[in-house]
């Protein structure tokens, strides 16, 4: 593996307090490892200013805005107009993360669905990719994404994909992308690796979801964007290609989906 091969961390959370003491150093380490771009994700609207400031301060960092499904009860629902307004910023490149989480927050399922539909409409209107979080909600997720497509095409990435093969197939059939996180490096994640391996390489992204889900050999520690290279090495193995070819392919996929972040 050549850690200098250029690659993208398509999903991280650089605004989280885990990075407050060394954010600049974390970004510098990622660049040194070959991570040329990072998308930091705003999950609560009141954090948008902090997330935006991080992106504005670093040429390699872009950002996305949405309300995480686990946060929908704690704040007013975002509107389409608000998301469209945020999208006017040149470094705001995606809508989300949004989605459905019935594992941690099943009681807010109906509110999560309403929020998800708003984000889908905003993705369609802005032309920016939708960033989806899905946990224990495969059937409802597939149904709502299909309904959204029936109302007009939009683009989408299934972030940190670890759901079942049916949702993966539904997403791929709609032209969406699957993003590989550190979960794919865990010994007990063979089913996840098999799902990725059965997908076309031109629909795969790679991410850290840092500070969470650090890949081997850092599992259990704080994750950071520079560790993208370790997940990508597993991805290369899954697809039977070199690290350099996997990095090149996933970077091209990122450019095709996140067009505002293309170099």
How far is residue 91's CA from residue 152's CA, in Å, rounded to a whole number? Answer: 25
pLDDT at 3: 53
Q: Which pLDDT score, from 0 to 100, does residue 1 have?
A: 44
> Which residue positions in the chain have pLDDT lower than 70?
1-3
Query: Could you tell me which residues come within 8 angstroms of residue 56 by beta carbon, excluding any fewer than 6 positions away?
Result: 91
Query: How remote is the C-alpha of 130 from its chain's centroid?
Result: 9
Query: Residue 162 is part of a domain; what is its CATH number?
Result: 3.20.20.140
In a domain, 154, yes or no: yes
Q: Count Cα neighbours of 2 within 13 Å in the Cβ-side half-sphere.
A: 10
**Residue 2 resides in a domain:** no
- The pLDDT, as a whole number, for residue 263 is 79
- Conformation bin of residue 89: beta by default, left when phi > 0, alpha when psi is -120 to 50: beta
The answer to whether position 227 is within a domain reads: yes
In a domain, 81, yes or no: yes
pLDDT tens for each residue of 60-92: 999 999 999 999 999 899 999 999 999 999 999
Residue 95 resides in a domain: yes
How far is it, in rounded angstroms, from Cα 172 to Cα 90?
28
The answer to the question of residue 1 being in a domain is no
Place of tokens 């995606």: 94
* Confidence at residue 155, expressed as pLDDT on a 0 to 100 scale: 98
Tell me the sheet residues that pair with 39: 62
State the chain's mean pLDDT as an integer. 96
Instruction: Confirm if 66 and 75 have CB atoms less than 8 A apart.
Output: no
The number of C-alpha atoms within 13 Å of 247 and in the hemisphere containing its C-beta is 22
Query: How far apart, in whole angstroms, are the C-alpha atoms of residue 73 and residue 75?
Result: 6
Q: Is 173 exposed, middle or buried (0-12, 13-18, 19+ CB in 10 A)?
A: exposed
Residue 90 domain-assigned? yes
E-assigned strand segments in 66-155: 92-101, 130-135
The total of structural domains in the chain comes to 1
The range of the structural domain enclosing residue 234 comes to 7-261
Report yes or no on 191 lying in a domain: yes
Instruction: Please state, in angstroms and rounded to a whole number, the distance separating the CA atoms of residues 98 and 134.
Output: 9
22-63 pLDDT per residue, tens: 999 999 999 999 999 999 999 999 999 999 999 999 999 999
- Find where tokens 């495969």 sit: 138
Instruction: Name the maximum alpha-carbon separation found in the chain.
Output: 46
């Amino acid at each position: 593996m050549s850690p200098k091969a250029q690659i993208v961390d398509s999903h991280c959370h650089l605004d989280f307090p885990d990075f407050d003491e060394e954010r600049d150093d974390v970004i510098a380490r990622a660049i040194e490892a070959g991570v040329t771009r990072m998308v930091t994700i705003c999950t609560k609207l009141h954090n948008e200013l902090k997330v935006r400031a991080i992106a504005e301060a670093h040429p390699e960092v872009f950002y996305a805005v949405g309300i995480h499904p686990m946060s929908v009860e704690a704040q007013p629902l975002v509107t389409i107009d608000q998301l469209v307004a945020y999208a006017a910023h040149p470094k705001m490149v995606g809508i989300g993360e949004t989605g459905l989480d019935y594992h941690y927050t099943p009681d807010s399922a109906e509110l999560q669905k309403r929020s998800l539909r708003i984000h889908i409409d905003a993705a369609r209107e802005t032309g920016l990719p939708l960033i989806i979080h899905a946990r224990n909600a495969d059937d409802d997720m597939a149904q709502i994404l299909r309904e959204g497509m029936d109302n007009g095409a939009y683009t989408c990435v299934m972030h940190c994909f670890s759901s079942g093969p049916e949702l993966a197939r539904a997403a791929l059939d709609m032209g969406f992308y699957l993003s590989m996180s550190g979960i794919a490096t865990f010994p007990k994640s063979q089913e996840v690796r098999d799902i990725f391996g059965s997908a076309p390489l031109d629909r795969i992204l790679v991410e850290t979801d840092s500070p969470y889900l650090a890949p081997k050999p850092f599992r259990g520690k704080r994750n950071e964007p520079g560790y993208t290279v370790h997940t990508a090495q597993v991805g290369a193995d899954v697809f039977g290609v070199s690290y350099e070819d996997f990095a090149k392919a996933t970077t091209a996929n990122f450019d095709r989906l996140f067009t505002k972040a293309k170099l």
